[in-house]
Every structure is written in structure tokens, then in C-alpha cells.
Amino acid sequence: LGLSGRSLCDLLHVLTNTRGYSRHAETAVAVANVFADNPGSWETELVLWPQTLPLVAEYLTHRIPDLRLLAHFLEQVLVPFWRRHPTAVASALLPHHISAVSAACTRCSKLMRADSKMHVRTTLVDWVLKNIDKIGPRGVAGVALALSRMGLGPAAETTPSHLLEALLGRAQEFLDEAPEGPAPFRPDWLGMLLSALSRGRCRADPRALTRLLARHLLSFDGGHRAALDSKWAREVQNLALIAHAVVKLDLQRVLLYPRRPHSHALAVLSPMVQAAVSAGSLKGPAGARSAGLLAHAYGAAVVLLSTNAEDRLVDACNQTLHLLLKASLVLPVETIRVRFQLLSAVQCWWLALDTSSSSSSSCSSARSKSRNSPHVAPLETLRTVHRWAGEGR
């Protein structure tokens, strides 16, 4: 390839956005081999344009058919260059590059040496610490997810909790900049950020998490509520990430707005999820993955809320879980992860049913509850679960 580093990046960008281009795998292998055969010949170009390697890594991550070539590119080209030119690399990196390199390392993590992954991780963490006040909303979400992907550090530690807390603090700054303006995070950015925080179990500041959720999920205008639900109905995977984070970060009982009763996060999310299911947003393997994660989150919530929780909240979770299980009957549940999530949701649902039944039988007043009580599963839900389990899912 007789191209400069910048020209190569431009070419890969054009190919990525060209519809109908069918030779991505061949192109990715050719690019990886060009760097692998003689990495020293690119030294001058890489010093002039250090962004080349992260952008090439991004293309290879999504297009290369052999992960060994990707691991070789990272270990023999990117990491050695980063070691030789730390200052040039640090000055050229952007949040997008952080995400690209993190995704590449995650894709071939099992094929990389520990010292190579350690160096990448250290470089990314150092960059974020020095540049956090310059990162925008999209960058905060992408960088947080990138760091959470990197796994264990040199001493087997996870992503530094103080770093995730600092990124959450940066997100609060965006909320403060325009208190009455539009929400600063797009649905996919919010999903990425909360996914990262849940991976890192960042529970140090529940008020900040609650405020972030309230700003993006609540509406104080009745007319705007329908538009908000409709908007989120098209973001089913991000709804799944948010619901999963709410449960994992123990926010299922917290009111998003104390002056508004029943403003629990899962209760607010429930009509959005139901609208997504009704709109047919759950389609194909991607829809199955979203349904699995949503069902797993609501199933865990049903168990956690089975005692000392408001009936309205439990009812919303039960209704949503039932709808998700019913929708999963026609989805291609192929991967072991999705099957595990759906089976876990069913198990949680049964456990919650057993717990609520035991509680109901402990006092005579509970025995007189209506058969439509939110703590007692309707017959239709029983039939759905029976059908789901009976079809070999």
C-alpha cells in the first residue's frame, strides 16, 4: 500500500461507509499483513500521524476473519510504537481512539500477552486521568465503556472505581450546564455509560446516578411523555442496558424524583419497554439479545422486590417480564448467553411467585387478596412460561 497514514485511514473510512463493498475481509488481511511484514517502514508516517494505528485497529476489529492477525498487529505494531513514542501518542489520542483500541484488545484478549494488555490499559487510564476535563458527553460514555472492557490490571484490580466516579462526575457537569435544556446524552451514550458503571459496580454516588436517569427518562409534561416513550421504543438495546444497570447498581427501589410517587426507574422504563415490544423492535438475533437482557433484569428485580416493595412497582415489573417472555417465543434464541438470561428470568419469576405465595399464606388477610394481585401471577403468565419452557428453549 503506497499510502500515507492519514490517507490509509481515509480509505478505510470510505470503505466502511460504502454500501455493498464485499471485500472487507480481504482488505483487512492485506492491511494487517502490510504492517506485520515490515512495521519499521511505517515509523515515519506513524510519528507524523499517530492516530493511524487506533483507526486501523478499529477497522480490523470489525472486519478481519482471523483474530490471530489482529492480536499480532496489536502486539507487534501498536504496543511497540506506543512504548517508543508515549508523548506523541498521548497528545494525539481522542476518546474515539480509546474506544477503538479497547474494543480491539477485548476482541482478541485471549491471544495477547499479559504485558501487552497491561501497557495498553495503563496508557488508556493515564490519558483519561489527564484529559477528563476535556471530554464531551459522547467521549465520557465511550471512554467509560472502553475502560470497563479492559478487565484486570497489573495487580488483578478492576477498572479504578475513582476513575469511573470521576467520569460520572463529569457527566454531572453536563447536567449542570443546562438544567432546563435537552438531556446531554443520546440514548446510546446513556446506555454505554450505565453499562460501564454497572460493570465497574460504581455505587459510590447513588444520587448522581439517580439524577442522570431522571434527567433522561422522566418528563414533567404530559404531552411530551408519549413522545419520550416513542423515542425510547426505538432504542430497545439501550433500554436493556439501562434496566440491567439499574438492577446491578441496586437502584430498583429508588425514586428518580422524590416528589413524584411511583417514579422508580423500572416503573418508568416499563411503558417504554412495552412500547418497544408493541412496535416490533425486538427482531432477529439482536432483538433476542435485547429481550434476554431485559428479561434477566426484570426477573432479578421481581425477586429483589418480592418483599417490602410497592405493589404498583412489582406489578409493573411482572407485566413487563410477562410481555418479554411472551415476545421471546418467536425470537431466534440461539446463543447460550441469551438462553441463560431467559431461563434465569423464568427461575427468578418462579422464585418470586413462591415467595409471595408464602407471604400471602402467613396471614389470613393476605388470603383474601384478589387473584389479580400484582404478587400473584395471572394464569396467562403461567401458560406463557409453560409454553416457553416446553418448546425446548
Cα gap 251→264, rounded to integer Å: 8
Cell numbers given for 157: 484490580
Q: Tens digit of pLDDT for each residue in 262-317? A: 889 999 999 999 989 988 899 999 999 999 999 999 999 998 887 666 778 888 99
Distance CA 284, CA 301 (A): 26
Helix/strand/coil for 151 = coil
Q: How far apart are CA 135 and CA 93, in angstroms?
A: 12
Q: How many CB atoms lie within 10 A of CB 205?
A: 15
The dihedral through the CA atoms of 102, 103, 108, 110 has a sign that is positive
Q: Which residue has the cell 446513556?
A: 190
What's the rounded Cα separation, in Å, for the pair 170 and 327?
38
Chain segment 311-333, per-residue pLDDT in tens: 788 889 989 998 998 898 888 98
pLDDT band at residue 385 using 50, 70 and 90 as cut-offs = low
List all residues 6 or more positions away from 136 whose beta carbon is below 8 Å from its beta carbon: 95
User: Which candidate, 334, 332, 272, 329, places its Cα nearest to that of 298?
Assistant: 272
Quick one: which of 82, 181, 86, 99 has its CA closest to 148? 99
Burial pattern 341-360, b for ≥16 Cβ within 10 A else e, equals bbbebbebbbebbeebeeeb
pLDDT (mean) for 96-112: 94
Per-residue pLDDT, 203? 84
Q: Which tens digit of pLDDT belongs to each residue from 50-93?
A: 999 999 999 999 999 999 999 999 999 999 999 999 999 999 99
- Cell 477485548, located at residue: 106
